[in-house]
A and B are shown apart, each in its own frame.
Chain A
C-alpha cells in the first residue's frame, strides 16, 4: 500500500540520515561555556576538544550571548587562552571571548546563556 510504503521510506530516511549524523559527528566538541562577569563586562570561556586521533584543527570559535528564545544579544570571536589555537589529536584548547556591549537591562531581563560555535575548522 502506498501509505505504508511512504511510512517505510520516511522512517528509513530518518534513521539513515540520523545515524549518518551520529556517525559523522564533527571531530571538534564544544564544552558548555563558563562565564565570569565584572560590572557590565562578561568573559565567557569554552573548551574545544578534538575527538580525532589523527587530525589537528585550527578552529574559528565564536561565543554568543543568547536570550531564552535563542536570539543573539551579542556575539564575539573567541581567542585561545594559550598558544595559537591549534587543537591537536585528542587534545583540547580553551577559547575566551569578552562581552562589553551588553547593557544592564540585557543582563537583568534577557541574557539566558552563552553558547559556543565552531564557525570554521580547517585541518592544520
Chain B
C-alpha cells in the first residue's frame, strides 16, 4: 500500500494498549439494521397500476350496494330477487377464481389481466344496459366471472417484478387498493341520484378499459427471476440470467397436491380460514353491535366503522415495512412471524373492544385491532410467494382466496345463529378466540416450516445443469459478508460494490450500467473528464440520489433504497465540494453535527472533538467563529473534521482541493493520510492530477463506458491518465 511521506505511522502496540483511537470507525455506534428502505432501482409503475386495477376490480361490489334501491324500484324487484343478484355475483366470483389461477400459471399474466379487465368492462356495460331482471342477473354473473382475473395474476407479477427483500412492502401497497375502492362508494350513489343508476355502470366501466390497455403494455417479467437473483447474489454477488418462461419440472398435474403439500402454505390457509370466521362477521355485524349496545344511530355507526378502514390502512402498510425490516435483520420467517403475532395480539384487543361499555374506548381499541386484522394479509401474500414455485403461485393465490371467501362468507351466518341464542355481544366474545388460534397456528407451525419450504421452492428454481440442484456455493467462491474469505481473495474485503447502476436527470442519462468494486482501506481517487458523472456517482453512493436501476452494496449488504441518513449511520459520509458547511453555525457546532447520530454518547463525542482538533490545530482558534466567515481552506478542514467526527468507514470527498491555496492543499493531503490511518476508506473525486497521484493508493478512471481501475500510481500513470483525458487510445 503506497503511503504519503507525511502520513504518520501508528504502531500496533499503541492500538493494542489504548484500544482503537477515538477517530477509528470501529468505535462508531452502528444501527443493527436499516430503519427504512425505499423502493428504488425498479420501476414503481407496475405496482401503482396493479394496485389501481385491484381498486377498480373491487369497486363494483361497493357500487352495486349503493344503486340497489334504484334498481329495485326500476324493475319492481323483491328483496329475495335482490339477494339472488348479490349471490350470483359472489358465487361466480368465487368459482371463477380457480380457473383464473390455473390460467395465470400457464399464460402470460399481463394478458390475463388485460383480457380480464376488458371483459369486466363489457360486463359492467351489460349491467347498465340490462332491460330486466334476467338480463341483469346474467350480467351480474358475468361480472362475477371476470372479477377474479386480476388478483392471482397481480400477486404473481408483483413477486417477479420486485426484489424479494421488499416483497412484504410491495404487497402492503397493493393491499391498499382494497381500501382505495372503499372511497369510490359515494361516487356511485352520486351518479345514480343525478343521472340514473345505469350511468354509474357506464362510467365505472371506463376505468376497466383504461387499465386493460395499460396492463397489456406491461412487461412480463420472467417467473421466479427475483427469487433466483436474490438467492444467487447472496452467494456469488452476481445475478443469474433470466430462466426460461416454462419450467418443465412443474406440471399442471398434481399442482394442487404440491401446493397443499407445502406446510407453510397450508398453515397460512388454515389460519386465514379459522380467523375468517371472525373477520367476516365484523363487516356485517359491527354496525348492529354499535347501535344495539352503544345506542348509536345507524348512520353514526356506519361512520364509526369507517375507522376500520383507517386502522386497516395503517396495519397494511406497517406490517409490510416491519416484516421486510426483520427479514433484512436476519429473521427469514419474519413474514409469517408478523402475521401470526398480529393475529394473536388482535384477539385480546378485540375482546376489550367488544366487552367495554365505553364507546370511546371501544372505538379506539377497535381501530388498533383493525390494524392488526389487516396487517397479516399482505405479509402472508408475500410469504406464500416465498414458499411456492413461481409456476404455482397463481393457483396458490386462487385457492387461498377461495378458502378465505368461503370462511368469511359463512361467518355472518354463524354470528347470526349465535346472536339469536346468546346475544350479539356474547357471539363476538365467543368467536374472538378463533383469531388467537389462527395466530398461534402461524407462530408455532408456520414459522417452523418456513425455512425448509423456502429452500425447497428455491431448489426447484435452481438453474438447469446445477450439479446439486441447490444454491450451495462452490468451494472456491467467496460468500459476500462472510467472515472467512477464500484462500486466494485479496487481504482486504470488498467494502463497496455497485452493479448495473443507471442514473438520469430527467431525460438525460448520466450513469450507464455502472459497476464498481472498492476494496476496504486506503485512499481511492476517482478521475475523469468534467460532466462524466463523478459527483452523481458519489451522490448515489451516499443515498442523496436514487438510481433508476442497479444495486449498491456496502459491507456485503444491499443498501439500495436506504435513505441517506441511514447510510450515514451505517458508515458512509459524503463531503460535498463547496457545500460542506452549515454557514450560520459556529465551527464548534459544525463539528458536533458530525456526531449527531450518537450524540448521547457524550464521552465519545468529546474524545472525537479533541482528536479532531489535534488533527486540525488551526481550527482551535476559531471554534466560536461562524462557519460562513471562515476561509475556503478552513471550511474544507472543518468539513473533513466533521466527517471524522462521524467516524465513517467510507468517506466520499467531492473536489478535495478545488480552489484551495497550495499550503492548504498540503495540509489537506496530510489529513487524508491521517484519515486513512484511522481505518477509514476514502474515495476522492479530484481534479488535480498532481494531488491525486500524491494521495492515491489506487486510481480509478471514469468515463461514459464505465470505471477502470488503473491500480496504484506508478511512473507512467500520469501519462496514461493524460492520454485518457485527451481521448487518445490507452
Interface set of A (CB-CB < 8 Å, partner B): 3-4, 6-7, 10-11, 13-15, 17-18, 21-22, 25-26, 30, 62, 64, 66-72, 108-113, 115, 117, 119
Chain B residue numbers with a CB within 8 Å of A108 are 291-292
Q: Which listed segment binds A: B193-201, B433-441, B695-703?
A: B193-201
A99 to B194, CA, bound (A): 26
How distant is A63 from chain B, measured CB to nearest CB, in Å? 11
Interface set of B (CB-CB < 8 Å, partner A): 65-70, 72-73, 79, 82, 114-115, 118, 121-122, 125, 128-129, 193-196, 198-199, 202-203, 205-206, 208-210, 212-213, 216, 287-288, 291-292, 298-299, 302
How distant is B566 from chain A, measured CB to nearest CB, in Å? 44
| A68 and B206 contacting across the interface, CB-CB below 8 Å | no
| B128 and A10 contacting across the interface, CB-CB below 8 Å | no
| B209 and A7 contacting across the interface, CB-CB below 8 Å | yes
Residue of B73, B206, B212, B216 touching A119 (CB-CB under 8 A): B73
Can you sample 18 A-B contacts with CB below 8 Å? A3-B212, A7-B213, A10-B118, A10-B122, A10-B205, A14-B125, A17-B198, A22-B199, A25-B195, A62-B73, A64-B73, A67-B298, A70-B65, A70-B82, A110-B288, A111-B298, A112-B299, A119-B73
A59 to B118, CA, bound (A): 40
A72 to B82, CA, bound (A): 10
How distant is A13 from chain B, measured CB to nearest CB, in Å? 6
Chain B residue numbers with a CB within 8 Å of A4 are 213
Chain B residue numbers with a CB within 8 Å of A21 are 195-196, 198-199, 202
Residue of A10, A67, A69, A71 touching B209 (CB-CB under 8 A): A10
Known: A10-B208, A113-B299. 6 other contacts (CB 8 A): A3-B114, A14-B205, A15-B202, A64-B69, A64-B73, A70-B82
A109 to B298, CA, bound (A): 7
A-B interface, 5 closest residue pairs, ranked by CB to CB distance from nearest: A70-B68, A21-B199, A18-B202, A117-B73, A14-B205
| B69 and A25 contacting across the interface, CB-CB below 8 Å | no
Chain A residue numbers with a CB within 8 Å of B73 are 62, 64, 117, 119
| B125 and A17 contacting across the interface, CB-CB below 8 Å | yes
Looking at B66, B70, B194, B195, the one whose CB has the most chain A CB atoms below 10 A away is B195
| A17 and B291 contacting across the interface, CB-CB below 8 Å | no
| A7 and B212 contacting across the interface, CB-CB below 8 Å | yes
Chain B residue numbers with a CB within 8 Å of A18 are 199, 202-203, 206
How distant is B28 from chain A, measured CB to nearest CB, in Å? 58
Residue of B206, B208, B212, B299 touching A15 (CB-CB under 8 A): B206
Chain A residue numbers with a CB within 8 Å of B118 are 3, 6-7, 10
A3 to B202, CA, bound (A): 20
How distant is B486 from chain A, measured CB to nearest CB, in Å? 53
Query: Nearest chain-A residue to B68 (Cβ)?
Result: A70
Chain B residue numbers with a CB within 8 Å of A69 are 65, 68
A26 to B69, CA, bound (A): 17
A14 to B69, CA, bound (A): 22
How distant is A57 from chain B, measured CB to nearest CB, in Å? 16
How distant is A104 from chain B, measured CB to nearest CB, in Å? 11
A25 to B213, CA, bound (A): 31
| A14 and B206 contacting across the interface, CB-CB below 8 Å | yes
| A11 and B209 contacting across the interface, CB-CB below 8 Å | yes
Residue of B82, B128, B208 touching A17 (CB-CB under 8 A): B128
Are A66 and B69 CB-contacts (below 8 A) given A14-B202, A21-B199, A112-B299? Answer: yes
Chain A residue numbers with a CB within 8 Å of B213 are 4, 7
Chain A residue numbers with a CB within 8 Å of B65 are 69-70
Are A112 and B302 CB-contacts (below 8 A) given A11-B206, A21-B199, A22-B195? Answer: yes
| B291 and A109 contacting across the interface, CB-CB below 8 Å | yes
Looking at A10, A108, A111, the one whose CB has the most chain B CB atoms below 10 A away is A10
A26 to B206, CA, bound (A): 23
| A110 and B66 contacting across the interface, CB-CB below 8 Å | no
